[in-house]
Chains A and B, each alone.
Chain A
Amino acid sequence: MGKELLKKALGWANEKKGSPQERMPQPEEKRPLSTNWDENQKNLREVFSQCADAVFQETSFNADQPLRILLVYLETLTDQAQISQTIIKSLQQGPLELPDEVSVSPATAPEVLQKHVLSACHPQTSADLLELTKLVLGGNIGILIEESPLAVVVPAQGGQARAINEPENEPNIRGPRDGFVESLKTNISLIRRRLRTSRLKVETLEVGLLTKTAVAVCYVEGLAQPEMVEEVRRRLRRIDVDAVLGSGYIEEFIADEAISLFPLVLTTERPDRVTAALLEGRVAILVENSPSTMVVPCTFISLLQASEDYYVTAPFSTFIRLLRFVALNIALLLPAVTVAVFSFHQELVPITLLSTVANTRQDVPLPIFIEVLLMEITFELLREAGLRLPKTIGQAVSTVGGLVIGQAAVEAGYVSPLPVIVVALTAIASFTAPNYIVGTSIRILRFFLLILAAMLGGVGIMLGLMAILAHLTALRSFGIPYLSPFAPLSPADLKDTFVRAPWWAMITRPRLDGVREPQRQDPDQGPQKPEDSGTRKGRQRS
């Protein structure tokens, strides 16, 4: 089949480079700490040699018999104030009150530190050099004690982080304004604040041999299908890469299809959106250092929905959704339809319009397909240029684009006004897509359809649309058909697609292949007009 051929071709391009063991020498599993103070110190310094941000701070533990202590931490990842004010201070002060039977010796020191001296910092112990290294790299402070084979590890994560602010890509008018940031902990807390139930489960695992990126899988127990959660876990565990620098890395590994033009996971920076998805029985995947969070399974219609839809009134939200759908079709089809109509099916155009267009096109040298294509490419260039440039220069780009290219080209008679209008309308329509990624799919397909329209007119457009439809119906996201609830049809779920039913009517959750708690709320909660007699009675009673 085509898919397999494609996979094969991609496989030839990057022949298998061998298993990870060959790719990167894996250190042996265990290297226990010894009781030899010098050896431990030397080993640890060796591990962190040439790491300018690794700090080795010697101090002493003030007990009956002072013990030498070595603090190891990365100053870039830790909270300096906490180290100097809490940890070092309490180490130098020594234990305030020790029970009589406990005496401080190298053998008991770790326990004393853990239970009596640093107990406020939730320390743990480690007996392994590699484990200790890993913990230190995670922003903990390693405390090496003289002659002791156990190191105490104190969490002291710190460092700079971006403050929570409104996600720029998904602005909102009503509803919450907070957006995910780079810190995984903060992101989980944003979800937890909205879902104060112990049924919200958060599982973390580590991906990336070098980056050791924490990835969290969130779901609501009892709503998400266990098989779905297991499938997410399985696909995440299967990933074996050096580095994960953003959720996009993970997305391509866990998607159902090798290559798809449409996003198979939903990415969002809005915690309210993720929470809503969790409540529908979906699974969220949060990636450390990435504000865009993934939600699976993803359906096509969810890419056309914005969280805003649920905060404004139901009729308005329905109107906006229909508008968005129209805009999607304009963005996809308008250039192609223009070319098809004006070069194949002129009979569809009213005669007055046709003569107007013909007049403006009299002195234009190029056929309409080339014109539209050139204007589309110009627009794509401008858009990309505006996106990558600093904001101040971006304005210059729009001036050049709008004024110089648009107006001047028309006035000079190189292009007719029609393609300019078409491209402008297409561009505006494409900006209404609430999801940036689906906008990019539409951009690619627009060119595909444009070329087909130039070759075969309306027939070509239909051929292209059927191919797109076949692709869309064949896609699945974590086993859920991409076009559900339309095909396969599940009528009850149509309440939240092109229309948005009022909240009191959203009685059932989406069917996502048999959710376990189908009912969301009590069915009879629709607002009711107070009956005349009823209110009077009520008044009398009060």
Chain B
Amino acid sequence: MTETSPVASAPAKPRNFFAALELDTRLIGMIGAFIVICLIFNFLTDGRFMTPRNLFNLSIQTASVAIMATGMVFVIVTRNIDLSVGSLLATCSAMMAMMQTVVTPEWLGLGLNHPLTMPIAILVGVMTGLVIGAFQGWLIGYLTIPAFIVTLGGFLVWRNVSWHLTKGQTIGPLDANFQLFGGINGTLGEFWSWIIAAIAIMASFYALFRSRRNKVLHEFPVKPVWAEVIIGLIIAGAIAGFVAVLNAYEIPTARLQRMFEARGEIMPEGLVQGYGLPISVLVLIVIAITMTVIAQRTRLGRYIFATGGNPEAAALAGINTRLLTVKIFAIMGVLCAISAVVASSRQTFHSNDIGTLDELRVIAAAVIGGTALAGGMGTIYGAILGALIMQSLQSGMAMVGVDAPYQNMVVGSVLVLAVFIDIVYRRRTGDKT
């Protein structure tokens, strides 16, 4: 072999402390960027940015865009684009709003705030997203109309289907149970938040253990045990820290009192309760895990990345790339519907302009998160971090008092800069794709 590189993939001895941890440098870079942004805004706002209250708000503001961004990763990885997500979100939101304000209370005679309303509305919304997404995927995959055109058309069509469904009216207030997905109106409270944290920590320890055992079983090189322990501790610390912050955001006394009154109880004097994990953020976490498992552990995910890397090779390997396109856009549609639940319940009503410009935020989040428009590259966690970075820039600037037009100028520039940094990073690390 003329070019066989002597650099083996199994280095016997890690060179230094950080090399032994085998950390993902891209992930570290993005977390670093997020922390820098937080510190700068914290300084500029005299410590108001990094309060539990603001971090709580940041998490619920990010949820809607982040949920869609995970699906956009698959779309962009396969060299497609989806410009219709904001409009599709609006159509799903309109469908669900009409379901819970007209169809279930009046046509089905269930009345307002019936326990069945929320599940029926969400089911209808998800089906709407699934069908529309699959239809767009069919146009792209089977009729070979470029994704850009199909979704540009969809951008206009679904925005106005939403308008048609509601006759242009704002629909609200939404069902009380439905509103639980909105963030501040639906949180788990301190106790259950800690339970979730404990489950998450145990699950990640188990995953680390499993992965190590699997490697040992096949006699692959493994990290030193101390490195695994440190990584485990970092993960546990991050999870616990996140929940601790959300729990530290206290429910105002007056509001807490109302909550006790609603249950017919009397609030003990001097009781302090934190909000805890918002349900919308829990939804995001569940979606993030599911999408990551799809990307890394299923054939579907493998085919998505293979098709993105070399569509011809994928087809020659017997992968049905047309059906794959339908599946990807169907997933995107379902995620738009779930985002619609979060977005509309957060504002407690459906409005005509819901999700406006979301397509750009979602694409930007995925791209800032390292998804390459050339296809084949992208991660779910990157897209979520991308959404978080954009949202923190936006709310940080709002807190500092930057006018909206200037905010958009900064966010736009950051998008371009982030992609440039990514290109330089890839050139340095020798990633050709």
Q: Is B truly associated with A?
A: no
